[in-house]
Amino acid sequence: MKTNQITFSEALIRWLLVAVVLAWGLNAPTSRAQEHPEHPSGAAKAESALTLEEVAKHIESHVKQESKDGAFKVEDKKTGKPLALTLDRIHRERLSQVGPEMYFVCADFKGVNGRVYDMDFFLQGTRKENLHVLPEKTSVHKEDGKERYTWAFDDDKNVWVQKPVETSAKEQSAPEHP
């Protein structure tokens, strides 16, 4: 029995084709230098009972519930130090469904240390009642605007992986987010 559900690979291929056509049509070298290049999202996503707005509200609720003494506390995996943060904004324009039951969220936080942090979150679930943040995939993407990693799609594993920004120029031109 054939279904109308689009696989993640099909969605990625469609997204890449659209991105190539747009990049070729615009012929603008600055399009690759945008702060947040496009990533898989929109009409090509897999069927879901969740809306992206529900995903955004879940992150807001998660941050509020996990906050202690007015701060969202996470460990900076790069430095090994704890961070005390307050949510500034969810990048609603960057929300995306990156696979079946898998969602990506980017959010800006202000640190009590005066720094600004761009955090990446992944959430999993089929409905808002079972949606949950994957803490092991939560990470600081930028500190005071300085990017720590970029994203590249691993075709063999069919997943997005983080690539350090100190890698080759080819990998640095990869999309900033999944």
**pLDDT the model gives residue 14:** 56
**pLDDT the model gives residue 100:** 86
Q: How far apart are CA 171 and CA 161, in angstroms?
A: 11
**pLDDT the model gives residue 7:** 64
**pLDDT the model gives residue 23:** 42
Distances (CA, A) of 78 to 16, 72, 140, 141, 148: 31, 18, 8, 10, 9
Q: How far apart are CA 97 and CA 123, in angstroms?
A: 9
**pLDDT the model gives residue 21:** 36
**pLDDT the model gives residue 161:** 84
**pLDDT the model gives residue 35:** 39
Beta bridge partners of 89: 108
Beta bridge partners of 146: 143
Total-model pTM: 0.68
Distances (CA, A) of 18 to 12, 132, 153, 162: 10, 31, 16, 23
In three-state secondary structure terms, 140 is strand
Largest CA distance in the chain: 56
Residues 6+ apart with CB under 8 A from 137: 120, 121, 122
The b-or-e profile of 7-46 (16+ CB within 10 A means b, else e) is ebeebbebbeeebeeeeeeeeeeeeeeeeebbbbbeebbb
Q: pLDDT (tens digit, 9 = 90+) per residue, 132-166? A: 999 999 999 999 999 999 988 888 988 888 888 87
Residues 6+ apart with CB under 8 A from 177: 36, 37, 39, 94, 96, 104, 106, 120, 141, 151
**pLDDT the model gives residue 177:** 66
CB atoms < 10 A from the CB of 160, how many? 23
Q: In the chain, which residues have pLDDT < 50?
A: 2, 16-45, 167-168, 171-172
